[in-house]
Amino acid sequence: MFTPEMLLTTCIMSGCDYLDSIKGVGFKGAVKLVQGAGKEETFLEVMTAIRSAGKLTIPRKYERKYKKALLTFKF
């Protein structure tokens, strides 16, 4: 079951107007990444999984822009 935080992370990672998406991660891919990460510290766990796999390139300043997007959607 997805928590509201997990759903928000999935939606932002699959692409939104506030930051560039990670090339190769669409909605289905974001769902798999978030499900694999778990409910605590979802985004950090997803970033760790992406880096350890080494298959995807994370855009510059992605994490900082993600935090801004998350705050925008929360408030």
Q: For the segment 50-66, what is each residue's pLDDT rounded down to a tens digit? A: 988 888 999 889 999 99
Domains of the chain as residue ranges with CATH = 4-74 (1.10.150.20)
pLDDT score of 16 more than 80: yes
Task: Compute CA 17 distance to the chain's CA centroid, rounded to the nearest angstrom.
Answer: 14
Alpha helix (H) ranges present in 1-75? Answer: 4-13, 27-37, 42-53, 62-74
Q: What is the pTM of this model?
A: 0.83
